[in-house]
Structure 1
Amino acid sequence: MALIGNPFVVDVPRKLSADELAQAIRVDIAGEYEAIIGYEAHALATDDENAKKVLRHIAEEEMHHVGELQELLFRLCPREKQKVEAGKMELQSMTGQ
């Protein structure tokens, strides 16, 4: 898990504001990506096919978590969803895809 800073790591001594919750979810997303990178790196670093299979499966589960957290973030912050969608459209216009 990414240890980016308080008050969003481990025990939070109070209820979070909406903005703080959104920030905490961003930290959670970063932690999921960090886990994905680690599992994939470990899979690449071994010749044990059983270990590779398990590590890749776990990495894929973490990718699902990213999707769940991203959707939750978008529900809490519609403006953020708009900005992400605008970025997708910009890329499509630049690449023609």
Structure 2
Amino acid sequence: MAILGNPFVATVPARTLSAQELIQAIRVDIAGELEAIIGYEAHALATTDERVKKVLYHIADEEKQHVGELQQLLYVLSPTEEQSFEKGRQAVQQQQSSNFQQPMQ
């Protein structure tokens, strides 16, 4: 959901963010990139103009790269976050190896 109605949404306080605030800000940035991807791809799906589709999908792909960059930055700032994501990734891989027949743990 776009939050453009709030003109102060991107205003950074006139102080340095704490480590935890910076981590939270990066999470918000990731959410914004994901929101942009959803929007661009939805617009591409909603048109039959192949020129427009090509450009919108290209832009969405760039946003996906931004997600990866921000995710890696989050891991640098919070190694425990990376560990949690890795546990989740491994859980799904285990499920996949059993053709999603085992219950999640």
**TM-score, normalized by length of structure 2?**
0.82
Unaligned runs of 5+ in 1: none
Partner of 2:46: 45
Percentage of matched positions with identical amino acids: 66
Unaligned runs of 5+ in 2: 99-105
Give the counterpart letter for 1:10 in structure 2: A
Partner of 2:96: 95
Q: Moved runs in structure 1, 4+ residues, more than 4 A?
A: none
2:6 paired with 1:11: no
Aligned-pair Cα RMSD in Å: 1.8
Partner of 2:101: none
Structure 1 distance, partners of 2:17, 2:9, is 12
* Offset, 1:95: 2.1
- Considering Cα pairs closer than 8 Å and 6+ residues apart, tell me whether 1 or 2 has the greater RCO: 1
* Offset, 1:44: 0.5
**TM-score, normalized by length of structure 1?**
0.89
1:52-67 equivalences in 2 (<5 Å): 52-67=53-68
Give the counterpart letter for 1:37 in structure 2: I
Structure 1 distance, partners of 2:91, 2:11, is 39
Q: Which has the larger radius of gyration?
A: 2
